[in-house]
Structure 1
Amino acid sequence: MGDLINPLVLEWLNLAFRWFHVVAAIAWIGASFYFIWLDLSLREPPQWKADKGVKGDLWAIHGGGIYEVAKYHLRPQEMPKKLHWFKWEAYSTWLSGTGLLILMYYLQAQTYLVGYNTLIQSPGWAVVASIGFILGGQALYELLLRTPLVKRGLLFAAILLLVISVASYLAHLLFSPRAAYLHVGAMIATWMAGNVFWGIMPAQRKFVAAVSNNEAPDTCAMAFAKLRSTHNNYLTLPVIFCMLSNHYSFLYSHVYSWLVLVAIGLCLAWGRHFFNLKHLGVVKPFILLSSFSGLVLVAVLMAVTSPASIAAKQAEKAAIVTSAEQSVSTDERINQLIHVHCTNCHAAVPSQPGFNAAPAGLVIDSTVHLAAQKVRALPALSSGYMPLGNFHHMTDLERKTLIDWLAQQ
């Protein structure tokens, strides 16, 4: 499908959508973090403010001025003519992210969405599976929100962790490793945008309408909206991790990449809990320390079980080629494999349609260049993620030949 669009046009569209997506996400995350901090930082107001209906207040200094912020139980004595709403930060982030998903993974499905040895090898069906994965995840989340389980915080968090774990495993069965990480992030981001669209905004509209007419608002709906906002706060850091993971192939190319995603996401959400408690005046360094220790533990376990470590152990058991003639023959074979399977994309001027430059700026057109990228190349080859799209049908024997050669470098 990507062949229908000029590669240069596709790159410009990708740049435009990515830039807008990042800017919109910064605005959304900033607003989310600010209002959670604000709500948790409000303190008991003086009596004269309480008499006017103020529930809590806060004083802050920023940009050369002192600000006074107050939150009302219901409404001020006179409703303001201009009331600022926060919704388009979320909507524009989700819409631009969806645009990126279409440009990168749907229009170039054979290259980026279809994985090596995954259950789905058809680009068309992979796109259908992608849409079903995200919409199915959204439907399940909304269904869980409407069960009594939502009132039991820790249990509900455990259930969401289980859902994300199953989703991560399923995504790795259906899509390429890089796309799998992106899809788990897209699913959670859809939960977050859905929280704004399906829950927070409708509740706020009803609340404003009620207090404007001096009617009793639906406090349960507002409490539910606040709960959705809290969910978004804890899910933000795992989503950012998923979206940035495409820059780090050692993560999504690991043999247990689906579990790595879950473990790191859990550590990040747990670390976020420290700051939320701190806003309330409760400081528990153990939470931050355990979150960091968890990330270190994940890194250590990944190193022990990495494809590079496994390949190195296998290489120690293998016979070492010592004759000059054999060495030359091996290098010639590796060069042949590089020129067949690598240089179509990783060349100064790629021949593969859709590529105007080598991905990530990595030029791999010789054994010297491949050896220099050993740390990246070994996990990418071992997981089957590379060659991207496997256009020239690298065999398992050819893959093993490259892996064994790299392990000895």
Structure 2
Amino acid sequence: MYEYAIAWEWLAFAARWFHVITAIAWIGSSFYFIALDLGLVNRPHLPPGAYGEEWQVHGGGFYHIQKYLVAPAQMPEHLTWFKYESYFTWISGFLMLCIVYYGGADLFLIDRHVLGISPTVAILISLGSLALGWLVYDLLCKSPLGRNTWGLMAVLYVVLVFMAWGYTQLFTGRAAFLHLGAFTATIMSANVFMIIIPNQKIVVADLIAGRVPDPKYGQVAKQRSLHNNYLTLPVIFFMLSNHYPLSFGTQFNWVIAALVFLMGVTIRHWFNTTHARKGRPTWTWIVTVILFILIMWLSTVPKLLTGETDAAAVAPAFQQFAGDPHFPAVKQLVSTRCSMCHAAEPVYEGIVRPPNGVMLENDAEIAAHAREIYIQAGRSHAMPPGNITDITPDERKLLVAWFESAVEGKKQ
């Protein structure tokens, strides 16, 4: 059993590493070509059919790049296809979903205080949502609404916000954000696999056969590529969010997700406008900062919204925590709700070492990790994962009261 758990842990690490590598390759090439496309200049000397060109310098050499809006008059001798980065990013991400969230559904996917379902049902809902997301998105793009790029994106935003809310009603907060990223990434990768590459192959086949390619295939592919461009940054946020419980483990997590999508738009708009040489809209960064501050505010669930008090998450000295009147009750709470995993020798099935090396077996260890306990189990519901130990709302309030009381005591 021990060897199996270790092997499974390394498999998860390998899948994550593979996912990061392929994602870097996909995102890098995607951002490069968007920037290149926006920076092209139409000059008189261009060959027939060429849309624009750009000179670039990198690595000690000069590059002269030309783009044909539809296709050149003849098929080139060699074509470099950019597709496998997308495919392997999705495959590796799905592998991680299977290893971490499907393999550990009771711990990471299901929160029975949110919805009491079996692992099998939860996994089927997960798979179905990813497939349904692509079908709905593709139908919207192919509908009359698809002719209006910005109107379509507004409707898609509503769909994404609905999915953000929906996932938080089904899974743990961590799994909800991860699934929202997977939902969006599935649309992006399917765009490449189902639309962009097939359309390019049709154009290539027409060139080989001596036919003039229909420009509609390039126009449709460009629209899907634009969607991918604006969805990339939110996907990265959601994939990183599982390390930051204040983003997913709070009451307003789905609102936070909605704001994250807007930040993705504002940031990409600045880069896209700049690359197109249409100015530098600094207002986008102001809006982004405001949105991020709003997210920070929502994550702490301030008194205005819940009736609770807000406190700075600082870490006073050990004496402050161990000497606080709440500490005996907190110690008992941590011993019953946390120490089965956060111990030198965890007793929870499948856990062979304390997560992140955090042990909570004595006064010093509990006090040393007071801030983490406050954030992950008090202010948010990130811990225990899926509330597997049934920590109650009153117990979470106790953790909050303990930490904030110690903080206030130090100030005085």
Query: What code does the residue aligned with 1:151 have?
Result: R
Which of these residues, 246, 250, 257, is aligned with residue 246 of structure 2? 250
Matches within 5 A, 1:143-162: 143-162=139-158
Change (3 A) 1:253 1:391: closer
Q: Return the TM-score normalized by structure 1.
A: 0.89
What is the 5 A alignment of 1:55-66? Answer: 55-66=51-62
Q: CA deviation at 1:21?
A: 0.3
Name the structure 2 match of 1:165. Answer: 161
Report Cα offsets for 1:321-375 as digits up to 9, x if no partner. Answer: xxxxxx8985333222212211111223322222233223322223443344344
Match in the other structure for 2:316: none
1:120 is matched with 116
Aligned match of 2:68: 72
Q: Measure how far apart 1:269 and its partner are.
A: 1.9
| Alignment length (residue pairs) | 393
Residues 1:109 and 2:118 are matched in the alignment: no
1:202 equivalent to 2:198? Answer: yes
Which of 258, 267, 275 pairs up with 1:279? Answer: 275
Taking the aligned partners of 1:330 and 1:231, their CA distance within structure 2 comes to 51
C-alpha distance after superposition, 1:27-61 (max 9, x if no partner): 000110011111111101342x33x4322111000
The residue aligned with 1:214 is 210
- Give yes or no for contact 1:56–1:70 (8 Å, CA) kept in 2: yes
CA contact (8 A) 1:306 1:379 kept: no
3-state SS of paired residue (1:174): coil
Moved more, 257-266 or 74-83: 74-83
> Which consecutive residues of structure 1, in runs of 5 or more, have no partner in the other structure?
315-326
1:115-138 CA deviation, whole Å, 9 max, x = no partner?
A: 151123322211111112212212
Q: What do the CA deviations read for 1:203-255 (whole angstroms, capped 9, x no partner)?
A: 00001111222212121121001100110000000000000000101111122
Measure, in 2, the Cα distance between the counterparts of 1:268 and 1:205. Answer: 31
Q: Cα deviations across residues 139-174 of structure 1 (Å, max 9, x unaligned)?
A: 211111111112222221221111111101110010
Q: Which amino acid counterpart does residue 119 of structure 1 have in structure 2?
A: L
Matches of 1:279 and 1:225 in 2, distance apart? 20
**Letter of the structure 1 residue corresponding to residue 147 of structure 2:** K
**TM-score with structure 2 length normalisation?**
0.88
Code of the aligned partner of 1:187: F
Equivalent residue number for residue 323 of structure 1: none
8 Å CA contact 1:341–1:390 kept in 2: the answer is no
2:361 aligned counterpart, secondary structure: coil
State the identity as a percent: 37
Q: Which amino acid aligns with 1:142?
A: D
Cα distance in structure 1, aligned partners of 2:337 and 2:108: 16
Is 1:408 matched with 2:411?
A: no
Instruction: Sort the Cα spacing of 1:388 and 1:35 in 2 relative to 1 into closer, same or farther, 3 A.
Output: same
* Deviation of the 1:395 alpha carbon: 4.2
Q: Does 1:184 align with 2:180?
A: yes
| Aligned counterpart for 1:31 among listed residues 29, 32, 35 | 29
Indicate conservation of the 8 Å contact 1:371/1:406, yes or no: no
Deviates more, 1:21-30 or 1:273-282: 273-282
Match of 2:320 in 1: none
Q: 1:142 to 1:5 in 2, by over 3 A?
A: farther
Q: 1:45–1:54: 8 Å Cα contact kept in structure 2?
A: no
Residue in structure 1 matched with residue 290 of structure 2 by the alignment? 293
What corresponds to 2:234 in structure 1? 238
The separation in 1 between residues aligned to 2:156 and 2:341, in whole angstroms, is 39
Tell me, which stretches of 5 or more residues in structure 2 are unaligned?
Answer: 312-322, 407-412
Q: Does the alignment pair 1:387 with 2:384?
A: yes
For the aligned residues, what is the CA RMSD?
2.5
- SS of residue matched to 1:115: coil
Q: Does 1:100 align with 2:96?
A: yes
